[in-house]
Amino acid sequence: MTGMTREYGQYCGLARALDLVGGRWSLLIVRELLDGPLRYTELEQGLPGVPTNILAARLRDLEDGGVIERSLQPRPSSAVVYQLTPYGKALEKTLLSLGLWGAQSLGEPPEGFASDLHSLTFPLRAMFQERTEGEHRFQIRRGEESLNVVVSHGTVCFPNDPSFEPDAILEMPAGLVLAIAKGYETFDSAVESGNLRIEGSPEKARRFFEIFKMPDLVEAAR
């Protein structure tokens, strides 16, 4: 590797970072892989609208840059999956900060906005209040979908466990989480309207929105 970056011609860490992950869809691919290895088809499903040729090209670029790597799942699957390298995983905090910055100018979720519950893992990571003490177990449901959320001593994870036993179940669309976090709706109004239905501890359910909330950042100009 030479001392200059390939595209920007600057000996600068930021320019080098943009060489590696500045292409369209690149950071969104990294976002999808934060939760673990995925097959090509699973990446396509998580990135609706991505052209197949662009996805294939970005995966090659990220692999060449040491951000992701390919591996084979254990038998009997033996499917090819993509996963972050340690170098790629080091992007997580940067991505979360960038996501929070961008969220300041998202505005209210559009009418009819719909997304699967898995799409919540990234914003929940970004909004997670790391100083939260103790253990809290939540399950978000929407129809046949469910997302398990475990908060334990300053960490958050999303275990795929059929026997999972939550302290509270929150039945709601993915967009409602973001609407409450952004202040466009309140916990109480969501419950009163029926958009949020709770099973288990109401106190724990309310606590969910204290653990996952937007930090006080500079609001984007309108």
Is the residue at 193 inside a domain?
Answer: yes
Tell me which of 144 and 109 has the higher pLDDT.
144
Number of domain units in the chain: 2
Torsion angle defined by CA atoms of residues 84, 97, 102 and 47, in that order, rounded to the nearest 10 degrees? 10
Q: Is there a single domain that holds both residue 53 and residue 143?
A: no
Q: pLDDT for 144-172, tens place per residue?
A: 999 999 999 899 999 999 899 999 999 99
Is the residue at 115 inside a domain?
Answer: yes
Stated pTM of the model: 0.89
Q: pLDDT for 43-72, tens place per residue?
A: 999 999 999 999 999 999 999 999 999 999
Strand 135-142 to strand 80-84: parallel, antiparallel, or no bridges (unpaired)? unpaired
How is residue 84 written in tokens? Answer: 């972050």
Is the residue at 100 inside a domain?
Answer: no
Which residues form the domain of 67?
13-90
pLDDT of residue 63: 97
pLDDT of residue 115: 83
Cβ-based neighbours of 122, under 8 Å, separated by 6 or more: 31, 34, 95, 96, 99
| pLDDT beyond 90 at 78 | no
CATH number of domain containing 22: 1.10.10.10
Is the residue at 99 inside a domain?
Answer: no
Q: Is there a single domain that holds both residue 120 and residue 200?
A: yes
Position 92, amino acid: E
Is the residue at 219 inside a domain?
Answer: no
Q: Point out the domain boundary residue: 60, 90, 120.
A: 90
User: What is the average pLDDT score of the chain?
Assistant: 90
Q: Is there a single domain that holds both residue 119 and residue 73?
A: no
**Three-state SS letters, the chain:** CCCCCCCCCCCCHHHHHHHHHCCCCHHHHHHHHCCCCECHHHHHHHCCCCCHHHHHHHHHHHHHCCCEEEEECCCCCCCEEEEECHHHHCCHHHHHHHHHHHHCCCCCCCCCCCCCHHHHHHHHHHHECCCCCCEEEEEEEECCEEEEEEEECCEEECCCCCCCCCCEEEECCHHHHHHHHCCCCCHHHHHHHCCCEEEECHHHHHHHHHHECCCCCCCCCC
pLDDT-based confidence at 222, cuts 50/70/90? low
Mean pLDDT throughout 86-99? Answer: 96
Q: pLDDT for 197-220, tens place per residue?
A: 999 999 999 999 999 998 876 666
Mean pLDDT throughout 7-18? Answer: 88
Q: Point out the domain boundary residue: 90, 125, 154.
A: 90
| pLDDT beyond 70 at 134 | yes
CATH number of domain containing 193: 3.30.1050.10
Q: Is there a single domain that holds both residue 119 and residue 58?
A: no
Q: How far is CA 91 from the centre of its chain?
A: 13
Mean pLDDT throughout 121-140? Answer: 94
Residue 14's CB: how many other CB atoms inside 10 A?
A: 11
Mean pLDDT throughout 114-133? Answer: 92
Which residue's entry shows tokens 């943009």? 18
